[in-house]
Amino acid sequence: MKFTLLFLLLISTASFAENFLINSNKLFNFAEQSFPEFFSPAGVATSDLDNYLVRYYPGTNNYIGTSGEDVYVYGDVFNGLLRAGALTDYIELEPDGDDLLAQLFADAKSNVQVYGTGIVISILSDDLNGSRHQRFIIELKSEQTLLIAHNIDLAPRIDELVLNDKIEFFGEYEWNDKGGVVHWTHHDPEEIHLNGWILHNNAIYQ
């Protein structure tokens, strides 16, 4: 794909922002609302492309993508690939979810949608009772730990996960006395629950 080749040729490395997918989606949504003449139809899926996150808009045949803190657009109207600035030129970056997760843990609250980033500190065996779940424990910057229960009947398994990997997540928090559990890190085939996801090595699992 021409767009892929341009990204790979013109940008050799990419820095990773905190909450990369959360902030990229916020930027993409902003672009759809503010510039529908370039980015429509709204609400197309975000895809991963090596070290980038992108959305393609078939209505206008344009792309928008992020690499670290940088924003790129691609299409005939932009004369090819164009760096359009930084995320912070368009949106206020979302803070990490540590404060919210700490408060949920302190208050013993559950059933709350959360996001954040953490480092994998333990990889557990898959839970094969009922719906199958890939299980691993992450540590937040606050040092709170979370068990991630990732449904692998509804979402791809993260086969390359190893200790000390960094992940970003969006799912539902359930309290326990060890820090909590995050599940619903997948799409909802019935389209009732918010779609969750995990970002690992810049690949989206949902």
Residue type at 119 in one-letter notation = I
3-state secondary structure of 40: coil
Residue 63 burial by Cβ neighbours in a 10 Å radius (0-12, 13-18, 19+): buried
**Residue 95, preceding peptide bond in cis (omega within 30° of 0):** no
- Predicted pLDDT of residue 171: 97
In three-state secondary structure terms, 205 is strand
pTM: 0.83
CB 28 within 8 A of CB 19: no
Please report the domains of the chain, with CATH numbers, ordered by start residue: 2-89 (no CATH), 98-205 (2.40.50.140)
SS3 assignment, position 165: coil
* pLDDT reported for residue 17: 57
| Spans in the chain with pLDDT lower than 50 | 1-16
- Please report how many Cα atoms fall inside a 13 Å half-sphere around the Cα of residue 66, on the Cβ side: 28
Rounded to 10 degrees, what is the CA torsion of 187, 191, 192, 198?
Answer: 10
Contact 19, 117 (CB under 8 A): yes
User: Number of C-alpha atoms within 13 angstroms, CB side, residue 71?
Assistant: 17
Give the CA distances from residue 30 to residues 27, 55, 169, 199, 204, in Å, rounded to whole numbers and listed in that order.
5, 13, 21, 21, 21
Query: What are the tens digits of pLDDT across the range 100-130?
Result: 999 999 999 999 999 999 999 999 999 999 9
